Amino acid sequence: SLSLSLSLKMAPTLPEYSKTVKPNYVKLGYQYIVNHFLSLLLVPILLSILTEVLRLGPDGLLDLWISLHFTPIQILCSSFFTLYIATLYLMSKRRTVYLVDYACFKPPSHLRAPFARILEHARMVLGSKSESLAFQYKIIERSGIGEETCVPPIMHYIPPEPNMQLAREEAEMVIFSAMDSLLKKTGLSAKDIDVLIVNCSLFSPTPSLSAMVINKYKMRSNIKSFNLSGMGCSAGLISIDLARDLLQVHPNSNAVVVSTEILTPNLYTGTERSMQLPNCLFRIGGAALLLSNRWSDSRRAKYRLSHIVRTHKGADDKAYRCVFEEEDPEGKVGISLSIDLMTIAARALKSNITAIGPLVLPASEQLLFLATLIGRKIFKNKWKPYIPDFKQALEHFCIHAGGRAVIDELQKNLQLSAEQVEASRMTLYRFGNTSSSSIWYELSYIEAKGRMKKGDRVWQIAFGSGFKCNSAVWKCNRNIKTPADGPWNDCIHKYPVDIPEVFTL
């Protein structure tokens, strides 16, 4: 049987990724020059024009004008032409999409699942000698998940016996709670919603969850509703992408996006090791967001959407199969994760970074990257690859809290500091892996800590089955006061906590 050790192992300190204490003046100078190249170029030109104008004086300018011999027709045409170009430009410009506000579901404390209870129940259902039990024990020990995470009501039973009614009840609890909170925060009336997108990967009843929301809140009959299912943990950003595209087509509209994952129908009751991980890491959670392209919201919106980049590696067979829902040899349905998951994730991340780099990185970093790339080609990989410093471009990072390994891997790949991944680690600890909504809990953490300032840029990265890596960059639109409500409001003062490497029971 399992031995129960009493000692608490001390956490090894995370390697320090933030580098030089002394600022590198050469590098700073280079960055300043390259990033502000155009303005630096413009200054001498403007100066010379100004000196010329001053030299000519008002009379000289009038003489210059008369000498051009413009007829009234020419003047009229050129003005119309200018106006036409300006209007064309303004109309074809992408509408700015604002994130007015968002609300996260705060699970009530009576759904709490402490480790002792999880393992005791697993023991009773699987038997004390079971190998899967020992495996689950190991996963939970090292998961980086804390003792306050919550699971839906049916999972407190021995054995859990889910049914469709209970799955709907969980969906109602999570989604309606987040929606109520969002409507209250934004003062939005349900009848005012133009687009509704709900994403929930593993529970897709008929009528859809979006229909459930429309029914509950009595929304308009001409609402544009969408329900995305099967798209994994990155579906939240896919929904935002869809909302953004719709808001380009429909002027003066808003869109509500609901991201959640319903756990009740998806408990895996078998013994396949590759299918155990989702059982141990997934927790109940959800978020509702309000997006808008209305000019009237531009003042009060919290963020504006800068970029969304979606990378899909599904063309590669291995990537396609690395997160796969199937029946195990006993006929029980579970989601199996392949051993190559981290490698494939790293590859997908690289593709995504390559796409998003040019959009967000300042010119200085891009030049360096290009130079290193050319150098590597010429000198046949003798040069080390240059990892662009994303900290130059982005102030905050929200890495989907898929698991401790995911956060560790990304921290290493992007060379992020402990503080930059703090939001992700603490969300994993406090709320577990809530799938597509976890990036919103993380954003909420950053706001609750008072770190979000106007002009700050946030990078949200999410991975999902398929295999997909999606990322979104938001720019903070106004100074955000520490919110009085929100999932962290009663406990933010306790964080950050030191998460032990191995949790002992």
Partner 1 sequence: LSLSLSLSTMVSTHVENPVYDVRLSSVVPGRVTGEDKVQELTNMDLMMKLHYIRGLYFFKSEAVQGLDIFDLKEPMFQWLDLYYPTSGRIRRQSENGRPFIKCNDGGVRIVEARCNKTLDEWLAMKDHSLDHQLLYNQILGPDLGFSPLVFIQFTWFKCGGFSVGLSWAHILGDIFSASTFINMWGQITAGHVSPQSLNMPNTRKYEFPPSTAKKPFSLKRVDPAGDYWLTANNCKMETHSFHVTAKQLNHILSKTFGLSKAANKFPPFEVLSALMWNSLAKIRGEFEPRIVTICNDNSQSRENDFSSNGQVISIVEADFTVMNANLLELAALIGEKRVDERRMIEELEERENGKSDFIMYGANLTFVNLEEANIYGLELKGQKPVFANYTIAGIGDEGVVLVLPGPEDSEHGDGGSNGRTLTVILPGNQISELKNELREKWGIF
Cα 464 from Cα 468, distance rounded (Å): 5
Shortest distance (Å) from residue 319 CB to partner 1 = 39
- Residue closer to partner 1 by CB (options 4, 91) is 4
Q: Buried b / exposed e across 74-102, counting CB within 10 Å, b at 16+? A: eeeeeeeeeeeeeeeeeeeeebbbbbbbb
> Minimum distance between the CB of residue 204 and partner 1, rounded to whole angstroms?
26
Tell me the per-residue interface mask from 129 to 168 with partner 1, x by CB under 8 A, - otherwise: -----------------xxx----x--xxx----------
493's CB contacts (< 8 A; 6+ apart) are none
Helix (H) or strand (E) holding 145: none
Write the CB contacts of 417 (distance below 8 Å, at least 6 apart in sequence).
Answer: 16, 17, 18, 391
Q: Which residues are catalytic?
A: 233, 312, 396, 400, 433
Task: Using the minimum distance from each CB to partner 1, give the nearer residue, 125 or 346.
Answer: 125
Number of residues that bind partner 1 (CB under 8 A): 26
Q: Which of 22, 55, 69, 110 binds partner 1 (CB under 8 A)?
A: 110
Contact 370, 379 (CB under 8 A): no
Largest Cα–Cα separation, the chain: 100
Q: What are phi and psi of 287, to 5 degrees?
A: -145, 150
With CB under 8 A as the contact rule, the residue among 36, 95, 112, 273 that binds partner 1 is 112
Tokens for 328? Answer: 């195990």
Residue from 6, 10, 45, 68 in contact with partner 1 (CB under 8 A): 6
Q: Which is nearer to partner 1, 128 or 189 (CB)?
A: 128
> For residues 372-391, which are near partner 1 according to CB under 8 A?
none
Supply the minimum distance, in Å, between the C-beta of residue 460 and partner 1.
29
Q: For residues 338, 129, 140 and 465, what is the CA-based torsion angle, rounded to 10 degrees?
A: 20
| Selected binder of partner 1 within 99, 100, 113, 277 (CB under 8 A) | 113
What is the rounded CA–CA span in Å between residue 285 and residue 168? 14
149 burial level (CB within 10 Å; 0-12, 13-18, 19+): buried
Task: State which residue, 121 or 321, has the beta carbon closest to partner 1.
Answer: 121
8, 11, 49, 502: which one binds partner 1 (CB under 8 A): 8
Tell whether residue 9 is a contact of partner 1 (CB under 8 A).
no
Find the binder of partner 1 among 33, 56, 116, 371 (CB under 8 A): 116
Q: How many Å from the N-terminal Cα to the C-terminal Cα in the chain? A: 14
Complex with partner 1: residue 8 or 56, whichever CB lies closer:
8
Decide the pairing of beta strands 457-464 and 468-476: antiparallel
Is 160 or 357 the residue whose CB approaches partner 1 more closely? Answer: 160
Measured from the CB atom, the residue of 1 and 67 that comes closer to partner 1 is 1
- Least distance to partner 1 from the beta carbon of 233, Å? 26
Tell the smallest beta-carbon distance from residue 149 to partner 1 (Å): 11
CA atoms within 13 A on the CB side of 199: 26
Q: How far is the CB of 321 from partner 1 (least distance, A)?
A: 37
Q: Which residue ranges make up the site for partner 1 (CB under 8 A)?
A: 1, 4, 6, 8, 109-110, 112-117, 120-121, 123-124, 127-128, 146-148, 153, 156-158, 505
